Amino acid sequence: MYRPLFAILLIAALALPTFAQEATTELEANLTEECVTEYDASVDYFPEKVEITEAENLTVTYFNNYKHVTVADAFFDAPVFDYVLVQCGTPAPDAEDFPEGTQFIEVPTGNLISLTTTELPFVTELGLLDHLVGVDSIMFVSTPEVIERYDEGEIVEVGSGSTINLEQVLNTDPDLVITNGYNPDTDAHPVLLEAGIFTALLAEYREATPLGQAEWIKYTALFYNEEARANEVYDEVTASYNEARELAASVPEDERPTVLWNALSTYDNTWSIPGAETFPGHLIQDAGGQIAMGEEAQSDSAYLGFEAVYEGALEADVWIANLFGINTLDEVLAIDPRYADFAPVINGNTWNNDLDTNINGGNNYYELGVIHPDLVLKDLVAIFHPDLMPDHEFTFYRQIPAGE
């Protein structure tokens, strides 16, 4: 009767060394500072992972020693960009297993150049400022930590677009350049790729939801194995955003103000009215408002003439103008005196998103606001329903005064 027990103990004894060996080789956290010195193909070198839940244009697939990342819709009619991020000290997978043009990089990587201000809060929140060696221009940067490092000589300007200063870029010995894409004929990324510099497209501005934009912090984190920190930041932002959204959700439908968004663009003489499924459309609805003329488009924006908006939204309750370089309503009326007929102008309920703007016109709404849509949403809830947030201190929006 002892034979079965003996057999079980023998099997357990034989198996024990295997279990112990696996326990000693499992990583408890990602390697954020060092490379692997003794590669073991059975080890998961990325025990801390991200899951993409809101961003529609970003994917990541984990393997034991590398990550396959794709970026879609980086600009109009853009191809899918493929990146393979290999844990340093481990072998790269076969390039033939990936689409032509796939870029390979070892992670955690090193020197970073950012050609977009929206990337800077991601870098700051992830604690990666020591890696930042270059920006396109410091003029429009609002993140104080970046400005401080520039003043200390730790960051240089490299220019932007197809005329980027390639010599200055190479002087910083970059391991990674992150940039937005708009038009390959005028963008910097084709020039950088031609020079053999690893260049990653950031497509946060193409996302349709505020939390989808904020989730691109995980993209930056992938290059530095900082998934744990990215999850922490994103979860906090999501919780804060949902708290404000739930507060506004209590407002009855018949008490939701009609919100006129944007103003006539003097560039193309059109007025962009967002649809319900666009980024501003989600913000307005989550803040307890209704989009003026939102029926003109759903997943896109309608580009209308002044007369069409004048006819359709003259009696809106609130106007979020999003104008550049104006201080007073008098200056708004100087652009077009017909604005004076709109109800929000008459009632003094016209707002602009330029409360936090630097002396060169750099607007933190387009920088800090990307990683913190919760702060944007709280501003809008306070505008639409001031009784819900009576002591609110605005971050991005200011009420436009009549002028002197």
| Domain residue spans of the chain | 58-234, 251-399
Say yes or no: do domains 58-234 and 251-399 share a fold.
yes
Q: Would you state the pLDDT for residue 266?
A: 83
| Percent of the chain whose pLDDT exceeds 70 | 93
Tell me how far apart the alpha carbons of residues 345 and 44 are, in angstroms, rounded to a whole number. Answer: 60
- CATH top-level class of 58-234: alpha beta
208-218 pLDDT tens trace: 999 999 999 99
Q: Report the topology of domain 251-399.
A: Rossmann fold (3.40.50)
- Over residues 132-147, the pLDDT tens digits come to 999 999 999 999 999 9
Torsion sign over Cα 382, 238, 210, 146: positive
Distances in Å between the Cα of 328 and the Cα atoms of 299, 321, 325, 332, 399 are 32, 12, 10, 7, 9
Quote the DSSP letter at residue 92. Answer: P
238, 230 contact by CB (below 8 A): no
For position 25, what pLDDT does the model report? Answer: 62
The Cβ of residue 349 has, within 10 Å, a number of other Cβ atoms equal to 21
Among the residue ranges 63-67, 293-297, 367-371, the one predicted with the least confidence is 293-297
* Cα Rg of the chain, angstroms: 25
Cβ atoms of 188 and 115 closer than 8 Å: yes
pLDDT value at position 20? 36
CA 104 from chain centre, in angstroms, equals 23
CA distances for 153 relative to 132, 146, 156, 263, 289, angstroms: 12, 11, 7, 40, 46
SS3 call for 201: strand
Residue 17 pLDDT grade (very low, low, confident, very high; cuts 50, 70, 90)? very low
Give the other-Cβ count within 10 Å of 347's Cβ. Answer: 11
Cα(72)–Cα(202) distance, rounded to whole angstroms?
10
- The mean of the pLDDT values for the chain is 93
Would you say 256 and 384 are in contact if contact means Cβ atoms under 8 Å apart? yes
Please list the alpha-helical segments (H only) found in 136-194.
144-151, 166-171, 189-194
Residue at token pair 């954020």 = 32
Give the DSSP H/E element, type plus range, for residue 345: helix 343-346
Separation CA 284–CA 385 (nearest Å):
12
Nearest in space to 363 (alpha carbons), one of 372, 355, 371? 355
Range 123-131 average pLDDT: 98
Residue with the bigger pLDDT between 403 and 120: it is 120
C-alpha torsion angle, residues 264, 270, 273, 279 (rounded to 10):
-90
Phi, psi for residue 58 in degrees, rounded to 5: -125, 130
The pTM of this model reads 0.90
Tell me the pairing of strands 103-107 and 350-352.
unpaired
Cα–Cα dist 132/339, whole Å: 44
Residue 363, phi then psi, degrees to nearest 5: -110, 120
Q: What is the mean pLDDT of residues 76-105?
A: 97
